[in-house]
Amino acid sequence: MTTDNSLEKTSLGTRKISRRDVLKTAGIGGIGALIGASGVGGLLSMTENKASGSGKEDMVPFYGKHQAGIVTKPQDHVYFAALDVTASEKTTLIKLFKEWTEAAAFMTTGKPIGELTSNEFLPPKDTGEAAGLSASNLTITFGAGPSLFVKNGEDRFGLKHKQPQELVDLPKFPLDALEKEWTGGDLCIQACADDPQVAFHAVRNLIRIARGKAILRWAQPGFQRTKQADAKEGTPRNLFGFKDGTVNPDVKDEQQLNKQVWVQPGDGPNWLTGGSYLVVRRIQMFIEVWDRTNLREQENTFGRYRDSGAPLGQKGEFDQLDLKNKKENGDYFIPVDSHVRLSHGDGTQKILRRAYSYSNGMDLKTGSFDAGLLFLCFQRTPSKQFIPIQQRLAKMDKLNEYTSHRGSAIFACFPGTKQGGYIGETLFK
């Protein structure tokens, strides 16, 4: 995120800015403290601040009918954050969403969120760690949790009557081991990009803008194989070594998306039409135990071959599941307690999965890896999609022997907005 400007206009006229001034005021290595109080403010026009090396080929439009980052082709990295709102006035909340929208629109085009300043005694408006980097297909997706509407029985912002029936805390599933520090949130930010620093920069600056209005509740970065590492861009593998995300709705089929992903008119409050429900589950994977499990047991656990990703008894990754196919001894090729059989059910319940692996170093309690899956999925109706799927899995999925659900949240992701509008506008009108 560099600038073409070499001159700055001041009250004393026009003066030349030295390279040292540019580096200092661009915020490289600097951490600002004032933007939370003052808002984004003084944003440059799109033509005044051009990102070097950032072309349209690595940009995803921020404005549109739907928010980006839902049916967008998954990027290599995610930085997910849940926030608690500290503001008490609805007008303050609206101001936050307007500032977030403006900042997100800039960052998704590879531009910093604030103008350069010659005053070295003020922190830069942009934190600067993405300076000179491309947009890297950055998408920023915003959502609201149940507690934004009602918390401890209180109608916080006069929005209780607008809370959708589907937007309620998920039920407790068998074997859940949820930890408060990884659960819930009034708001969420999902930043996905092909560069981890670009994704982090986006969330960091949005949280900075929120200072005085909202605070960070929990955050989790995630990754998958990069497109550079896999030129064929096959289905990513999870940390158990199996392909993850083979069965998904066709994001190019608008009819499928309207049926499975996008909230439709009449589903609930009209403000969410064109949006989607996001379920987040932070799933710890006991990879040391898994690594001592033989290959046959691993494949029976998933119901797929590890190498090809094909369902057991078949050849291709995308072959349709044959749940009736049996071996000569009468056993099903795909075991009754396998992950793929239980998640498939009768085939009518589908979700759009957008999961990423995570690795947070060492679990200090056990001395093992703190690693697993940041499971993200979008759907039109959680009560008819994710919840019944997870209820089946929680009861008898053999994969439960190797995993533990530590975090959980649900959010209503707003519909998109047009230039001049702001994310969340339909809720507040």
- The one-letter amino acid code at 172 reads K
The two tokens of residue 98 are 């307007």
Q: How far is CA 99 from CA 151, 231, 428, in A?
A: 24, 38, 15
Q: How far is CA 255 from CA 190, 251, 377, in A?
A: 25, 9, 18
Q: Can you tell me the mean pLDDT for 183-200?
A: 98
- Asked whether 271 and 413 are in contact (CB, 8 A), the reply is no
Q: What percent of the chain has pLDDT over 90?
A: 81
- Asked whether 2 and 21 are in contact (CB, 8 A), the reply is no
pLDDT score of 327 more than 60: yes
Quick one: pLDDT at residue 122? 86
Q: What is the C-alpha to C-alpha distance for residues 339 and 216, in angstroms, rounded to an integer?
A: 34
Quick one: pLDDT at residue 109? 97
Residue 51 CA to its chain's centroid (Å): 24
**DSSP letters for 222-244:** EE---TTT-TT----B-TTSSB-
| Tens-place pLDDT, residues 377-425 | 999 999 999 999 999 999 999 999 999 999 999 999 999 999 999 999 9
- The one-letter amino acid code at 303 reads G
pLDDT score of 56 more than 80: no
Q: Which of 4-13, 38-47, 224-233, 407-416 has the highest mean pLDDT?
A: 407-416
**What's the pTM?**
0.86
| Tens-place pLDDT, residues 67-81 | 999 999 999 999 999
- Asked whether 203 and 81 are in contact (CB, 8 A), the reply is yes
Mean pLDDT taken over the chain: 88
